[in-house]
Amino acid sequence: MWCLVSYFVLLTLQVAGPVAVLATTAVSSLFFIVSFTTRYDANGTPSSVLPLPFLVFLCLSSPTALSMAIERAIYLDVAQIGLTWESLYLGDFPLIIPIVMLAFDSLFYFCLAMWLDKVVPGEYGKKQPLCYCFQPKYWSSSLRYGAQDKQVDSKHAYECVNECEHIEPIPEELKALNKLRIFGIKKTYKTSSGPVDAVRGITLDIYENEITCILGHNGAGKTTLVNMLTGLTPPTEGTAIIYGKDIRDTYDMREIRKFTGLCPQYDVLVDNMTCKEHLYLYAALKGIKKSEVDWEVQKILKDVDLIDKADCFTRNLSGGQKRKLSVGIAFIGNPKIIFLDEPSAGMDPKSRRHLWTLLKNKKNGRIILLSTHFMDEADILADRKAIVSKGKLRCCGSSLYLKTKFGIGYNLKYV
């Protein structure tokens, strides 16, 4: 009956909560097996017709173990034996068994939750293989991180590079600064109305000490590309190598995250926390030393021009101010690579100017990858512009290269 009710609730709401309710109800009903198979002798002493190992197995369900423990405790009370250290071991199925099993269940469920969290595919992030904990590199950090920096085989790289013709040739000295290489990356979302090709094979090199702008219309695939590079969405095909680490490798991705800052397209802020509290939280997550946290938070607040709003709850900030805070969060911890997905959306012209100055001042020693659909923003900021349309890279190069190549700009004629 309860299972049916839970099932209909689950169908109606379709959320994780009802799944838990259904599972708990179904598992709790196992206790009825124990109840229906318990017999009482002339003295009222209970004994089960089920074998002891099966009863222990049923105790793997914690509601069942708890019910059995309570039943045993009630019996000891009713039989006027009382609950003592000695009575814990009385009978065919002593009370100590469900108590020990409850402790075991806590540990078992904890491990199960950890395992499921890693292997069950969610909306974000790449999941581990089912037997991830049996892989030697899961246990050995030297196997994980001691390996050589990864390179994609040259044949694959060559094929990918050939896909887009309009790429500015790179001077020899810049090649050493090529720290982010994207190789034929693709993403296809499966939707109820069929597959959606959000990114259809992008190959791109991104350099240190430069601001690279991904310029494209709405729906071009900019956010999907950023999400793949930051490990939020696994690519369907292709890969990217960031500072020698492969984004397809879960362990590499964990390393990449340590030196990455992200300002997502939509602000991920808690309404009831102030700007300062957000920065403290992210500083702690990034592992900034306690002695440096205050200084770092003040510096970021100053950089993004939010000193006046430091103690203001984010629910009271304007859209532009929230973007500033998100940019600040991306910069906290001095990351080597910063992804900014439409950072200036909703900012007033003065704030945009301020942001552009900040980004230009910060570009040395790091990669800044910024997506935008504003031509002027890309023109002013970008050392290199990658124009993306319908999930494909159409051209990439400096403003001068693109203007020479495609004849964009002004023509001065003498008459």
Ligand X SMILES: Nc1ncnc2c1ncn2[C@@H]1O[C@H](COP(=O)(O)OP(=O)(O)O)[C@@H](O)[C@H]1O
Binding site for ligand X (CB under 6 A): 189, 191, 196, 198, 216, 218-224
Minimum distance from CB of 369 to ligand X (Å)?
A: 13
Minimum distance from CB of 217 to ligand X (Å)?
A: 7
Structure tokens at 40: 């009482």
- Which residues are bridge partners to 180 per DSSP? 206, 242
Minimum distance from CB of 391 to ligand X (Å)?
A: 7
| Residue 221 binding: pick among Mg ion, ligand X, none (C-beta 5-8 Å cut-off by kind) | ligand X
CA separation for the pair 253, 245 (Å, rounded)? 7
Q: Alpha helix locations (H) across 125-173?
A: 136-139, 141-145, 154-161
Give φ, ψ of 396 to 5 degrees: -150, 135
CA separation for the pair 81, 156 (Å, rounded)? 77
Neighbouring C-beta atoms of residue 225, cutoff 10 Å? 30
Minimum distance from CB of 341 to ligand X (Å)?
A: 7
Concatenated DSSP letters of 89-104: G-SSS-THHHHHHHHH
| Residue 211 binding: pick among Mg ion, ligand X, none (C-beta 5-8 Å cut-off by kind) | none
**Closer CB to Mg ion, residue 265 or residue 389?**
265
CA separation for the pair 216, 373 (Å, rounded)? 5
**Closer CB to ligand X, residue 223 or residue 239?**
223
Residue whose structure tokens are 């003065």: 350
Minimum distance from CB of 160 to Mg ion (Å)?
A: 23
CA separation for the pair 276, 214 (Å, rounded)? 30
| Residue 261 binding: pick among Mg ion, ligand X, none (C-beta 5-8 Å cut-off by kind) | none
| Residue 266 binding: pick among Mg ion, ligand X, none (C-beta 5-8 Å cut-off by kind) | none
Residue with the CB atom nearest Mg ion in the bound state: 223
Cβ(371)–Cβ(218) under 8 Å? no
Minimum distance from CB of 393 to ligand X (Å)?
A: 13
**Closer CB to ligand X, residue 187 or residue 322?**
187
**Closer CB to Mg ion, residue 222 or residue 286?**
222
Structure tokens at 21: 């309710």
- Which residues are bridge partners to 393 per DSSP? 388
| Residue 54 binding: pick among Mg ion, ligand X, none (C-beta 5-8 Å cut-off by kind) | none
Cβ(231)–Cβ(405) under 8 Å? no
CA separation for the pair 293, 23 (Å, rounded)? 44
Q: Is 170 helix (H, G, I), strand (E, B) or coil?
A: coil
**Closer CB to Mg ion, residue 95 or residue 226?**
226
Cβ(321)–Cβ(334) under 8 Å? no
Structure tokens at 192: 């109820």
**Closer CB to ligand X, residue 240 or residue 288?**
240
Residue whose structure tokens are 């094979």: 201
**Closer CB to ligand X, residue 306 or residue 393?**
393
Minimum distance from CB of 123 to ligand X (Å)?
A: 8
**Closer CB to ligand X, residue 72 or residue 222?**
222
Q: Is 48 helix (H, G, I), strand (E, B) or coil?
A: strand
Minimum distance from CB of 342 to Mg ion (Å)?
A: 6
Positions in the binding site for Mg ion (CB under 5 A): 222-223, 265
Minimum distance from CB of 56 to ligand X (Å)?
A: 45
**Closer CB to Mg ion, residue 214 or residue 241?**
214
Q: Residue 394 contacts by C-beta under 8 Å, 6 or more apart in sequence?
A: 164, 166, 387, 388
